[in-house]
Structures are given as structure tokens and as C-alpha cells.
Structure 1
């Protein structure tokens, strides 16, 4: 009978300690009761009971360890705070006049054949995904494309395309851009702009990022459009600069950007670089980019006059 009473006390004690959020420090009366029960049981003749009953200290240690594991798990899955905002002063200025008529005529002619000029390539599904509307903690996300990140391929356009067509099961290997522009002005679309391309890792723009996986740091991918320029031959290395991009590339770049601006409604000031959004300080692309070349073309397309 006494054995049954003590067993009942132990069960209630275990339930109390294991209950989520229950305090680890017991009131003194319960502690004395438990220790007294253990002392009595230590003199009991039942060898089976001695062999199977844990000590109070063992139980307290077990519950304490469980609480530590819960706290650690909670800390690991806690929503991270967004990074400190880094200002971005766009090199693109407002321009409503002073257009070069030759540039305007050339670009307008290219605009009329844009659909025919664009080539679509099927990127492997492991290298892109859906834009998230809710983060892992249930907080709403705005997935609308509203920033353009400019990149360069470093190697050839075909090398980049081959990489995106290759399956990459590991998160760390997955990569893609929405569009790549070749040295000859060729426009290759790789990921639908409504989908999420994996163009930037640990990144933010004006202090904004989106965490879409609790195990991975935030990035701009959920609300960014990624566009890459094919690197010239003399830039296929790790040096800080190269000979620059071709006139044909800047033409195609301006036309694609104008198309996205009209479609998604963001301002030219939201066109930035991988170097700027990268929070790890490891990216420097697009190297040798000439903002004046882009300025001239976007102005000719009347994209820089509100």
C-alpha cells in the first residue's frame, strides 16, 4: 500500500517536471517528501523496486537536460532580426531630355522584336523555386519583384547555362539567374520572373531580406530579379576588373530592364549589384560595369523620367 502511494507521488512528480514550461525548482515540501520516500524505499526489501527506481537527482538532471535542449532548439529556430540597412545611392539619375536619337531609334527597333529574340532554357527544378508568401515563423512576406541584382557569369554564357541545367540536390550548390545576356547581345531566359531564382546567398537590400528556410540565413532572392552579363574573355579570372561589357550587351540589358520596370512597377533606383547586396563581403560582380552606358540607354527608352 505504501509502495503504491510512493509510486503515485513519483508519477505525479515526473509529470509535473516534464510538463512544458513547468519550473525546474520544486517547492521545499515536495522536495522533502520525495527525498523521504526515497530514504524509506532504500530500506525496503524489494530488490526489483531498487533496481528500477531512479533517484530524485537523476530525474532532476534529466528534466534539466531536456529543458536545455528545448531552449537551444528554440534559439536555433527563433526568427532572426534583419540586418542593419546599408544605404544605396543609385548611379542612375533622373533624365527627361537630352536623348540621343540614334540610340532611341536603335533600341526601339530592338524592342519591337524582343519576344522573338529571347531564348528560353529549362533550368533544372533544383535550381529555382516558388516565391514564398509566409516565412517559417508564420509571418507574411511580400514576394513581389522589386529589386534587380546585376551579376556577371565569370565564365562563358554556355558554361553558366550548363550549370543551371545540372541538378543540384544540395542547397549550397543551387544557383540560377532569371536572365543572362551574352557578349553578342543574346538574351537567354532561365527562370520565370514570377519564380525565385537563387542568385544571391546571404544578402539584403536597404535592410530587407527574406528568410525562407529556418536553417539558412536570409537573402533578397524572394523579392529580387537576377540578371547576369557574360564576362569577356579577359575577365575569366579573379582579378578586380576586365575590359568591360559590349555595346550589344548594354542594349539588351536596357531593353530587358525596361520590360521589367513596366511589368513590375519598381523604380530604376532599385537596380543594384551583387557586390552591394552581398552581406558576406565575398562578391564583387559585375566588375567593370559602366553605369553611364546604362544611363544613356534607359534615358533613351524614357525609363528615367517619372
Structure 2
């Protein structure tokens, strides 16, 4: 090395020394702040702790989850209920027998595990959640009940293809139970109910699935299209639906005005189900069962 280069080398060494002294001073101040418990700017130890936190599983409550976008408030179409504490008369006893049948002789189908999941106890930001079911979302199958069940039996590795309900009800009134209420059905995508949703994947927004129960009615033949309406559901379907809802409402804190529709919770404005639904037919049956109190 010639003498002409030495001043440059010395200058570089001096500059590196100054940087090193600055880093040491910053570390010392950070440690002092941590020991003194000072507030204000984050200390070095706090910053290091933040770096160590997994991005999708931080300390509980450390980050605020995004709220749902403004949406129309749900108002139940069911009118002021006639509150009867127990099953009312012959009609109530007939419907109560359907509730008992759900317990004694349930019709179950085991669907593919890719189409459902477990309810989350924390959201994607580490915040604690109450996964207890507290809302019911009504759907329709659009095509036959057999087609719907085959879809649920089929493996769907891609998130966008996964779909399921907790139960489906055929035109003949048969209720097919697909999932236990404690499991999370993939019944609604980007959705919210009265300002509530749960974000389990920040990339796709929030959903009601973590606290919702989903039931779908088989669509009549004249509704196997995207028309705005069809001939409606059978009396047997309303009987079975009322029995299933009464059972869920006895087991979980689900008031009558928390029975809603896929159309009402969908934030994309793409869903219209269940079309041609008769709310009065459901209400009179729930009243007979004593479930409207």
C-alpha cells in the first residue's frame, strides 16, 4: 500500500469508529429505558420483542383487527312474536316430535375435511374470540339436495372452492346433518352480521363463519336458475327448519332476530338466497314450539 492511499484508509477507519460508538450509545440508552420502564418511544428490547413475534400470531390483543365495512343493519322480517313458553297444542307437540327425532334418529353424512374447519379461539391478529354460535344463516341449494351433498363430499384443496353447511333440508322435509355445531362450516365468504365478523385470514377479509350456524333448503325444480324467485319451499321444509332452529336456539344464545339470510350477510352483493322465503310460515312454527320467547 502506498502512502497516497493511507489517508483514505485512516478516514474510513475513523468513520467506522464513529458509527460503532453511536450504535453502542443507542443500545445503552435502549437498555436504560427498558430497565427504568420509561414510556414513549419503544425501547430496543421492545423492538427486539416485536421482531421475534410471528407476524400472524402476535401477543394476544397486541394489534387491532380491522372492522367490517358499513353494511345495512339486519331487521328480522318476523313480526312481534306471540311468546309461549312451551310447545303449544297439537301443532306444537307435532313439531316437538321432530325436534326429538333429531336427537334420537339423526340422519348424518360425513363430508370431506377440506370443506370445513374448527372454530378459532383467536383471530389472525392474536385477539381472543368467542366461537359460540350466535347467529343462523339461511341458504338454498339452487340445485337438488343430492348435488349439494356430492359437492361437500368432494375434496376441495383450494380455499375458493370450499363450501359447506351444518345441515340441509330436502323438499320432503328430511334433515341431513353434515357438521356438528361446534365445527366451522364454510357457508359465507366475505360477510358480516350487525357489525360483527372475524378475520382469520387478512388476505380475504372477515366472515361470520366463526360464530354462525348454516342451514340450506333444497330449491324446487323451477328455481334451478338465477331468477329472482321460484315457487317456494314445502310445508315439510318449514316444519323441519323450525325443529332444527328450535334445537339450536335451546343449545346456544341465538334469539329469533339472529336468524338471517345469506343475502343479508354477504358483503359482495352477489348472493340472493334463500329466494321466495316465507318468514310467516317459519314464525308460526317457532311460536308453536315456544322458541320465540
Q: TM-score, normalised by structure 1?
A: 0.74
* Cα separation, partners in 2 of 1:232 and 1:4, compared to 1, 3 Å: farther
Q: Which of the residues 256, 276, 290 maps onto 1:268?
A: 256
Alpha-carbon spacing, 1:236–1:137, altered in 2? closer, same or farther (3 Å): same
Q: Secondary structure at the match of 1:132?
A: coil
Relative to structure 1, is the Cα distance of residues 82 and 105 closer, same or farther in structure 2, using a 3 angstrom cutoff?
Answer: same
Task: Give the Å deviation of 1:103.
Answer: 2.2
SS in 2 for 1:202: coil
Matched, 1:6 2:20: no
Residue in 2 aligned with 1:189?
177
| 8 Å CA contact retained: 2:116, 2:185 | yes
Alpha-carbon distance, 1:7 to partner: 5.7
**Separation (CA, whole Å) in 1 of partners of 2:200 and 2:292:** 33
Aligned-residue Cα RMSD (Å) equals: 2.6
Aligned counterpart, 1:25:
none
2:121 aligned residue (130, 133, 152):
133
Matched, 1:96 2:83: yes
Q: Is the 8 A contact 2:71 2:267 kept in 1?
A: no
Instruction: List runs of 5+ in structure 1 lacking aligned partners.
Output: 18-72
- Following the alignment from structure 2 to structure 1, what is the Cα–Cα distance between the partners of residues 165 and 187? 5
Q: 1:5–1:200: structure 2 CA closer, same or farther, 3 Å change rule?
A: same
Q: 1:233 to 1:12 in 2, by over 3 A?
A: farther
Q: Residue 81 in 1 paired to residue 87 in 2?
A: no
Q: Does 1:174 align with 2:162?
A: yes
Of residues 241, 245, 249, the one that matches 2:237 is 249
- Normalised by the size of structure 2, how large is the TM-score? 0.77
Give 1:108 shift: 2.4
CA distance in 2, matches of 1:6, 1:221: 61
Where do residues 64-75 of structure 1 align in structure 2 (5 Å cutoff)?
none
Say if 2:288 is the partner of 1:282. Answer: no
1:137–1:104: structure 2 CA closer, same or farther, 3 Å change rule?
Answer: same
Contiguous gaps of at least 5 residues in structure 2? 1-5, 24-54, 57-62
CA contact (8 A) 1:131 1:195 kept: yes
For 1:83 and 1:284, locate their aligned partners in 2 and report how far apart those are by CA, in whole Å: 19
Instruction: Describe the shift of the 1:11–1:83 C-alpha distance in structure 2 as closer, same or farther (beyond 3 A).
Output: farther
How far the C-alpha of 1:125 sits from its partner, in A, is 1.0
Higher helix proportion, which one? 1
Cα distance change, pair 100–216 in 1 and its aligned pair in 2 (3 A): same
| Distance in 1 between residues matched to 2:147 and 2:13, nearest whole Å | 70
Contact 2:88 2:289 in 1 (8 A): no
Q: Distance in 2 between matches of 1:12 and 1:79?
A: 43
1:138–1:100 CA distance, 2 compared to 1 (3 A): closer
Residue 110 of structure 1 and its aligned partner are, at CA, apart by 2.2
For residues 142 and 115 of structure 1, the distance between their equivalents in structure 2, rounded to whole angstroms, comes to: 26
The structure 2 residue matched to 1:232, chosen from 217, 220, 234, is 220
| Aligned match of 1:164 | 152
Instruction: Find the structure with the greater CA-based Rg.
Output: 1
Q: Does 1:302 align with 2:283?
A: no
The 8 Å contact of residues 274 and 284 in structure 1, kept in 2 or not, is answered as yes
Written as runs of structure 1 = structure 2, the 5 A alignment for 1:104-143 is 104-143=92-131
